[in-house]
Structure 1
């Protein structure tokens, strides 16, 4: 299994409108194609649980190539 190219520390993300974008400097030189996210609530009944999520997007060059 390939190791991750970048692993960040735990970061706080708010779900308030206007504060829901988090930019993480990673030094990879380009936007990642695939990102794995682990979330844990800071308090409440699910405080000690971890929730996994994955996301990605098509790079602009892939969109142009596939849109013909």
Structure 2
């Protein structure tokens, strides 16, 4: 059941999002809070050079409390 809901969640966003997009997805949180979530490991991500790339599924997992 969760997977079907997850598919529809954030369908307007690409599969990999930027920090700015992640802020929007999480209800308009600030960039500092977003970077804190990434650096603490609460949301899985990939760092390429200086930019963070966040898979959309990792944000969904964070929101639903997945591992």
Q: For the superposition of Structure 1 and Structure 2, which TM-score range results when normalised by the shorter chain?
A: under 0.3
Give the TM-score taking structure 1 as reference length: 0.26
Q: Which has the larger radius of gyration?
A: 1
Structure with bigger helix share is 2
- Normalised to the residue count of structure 2, the TM-score between the two structures is 0.26
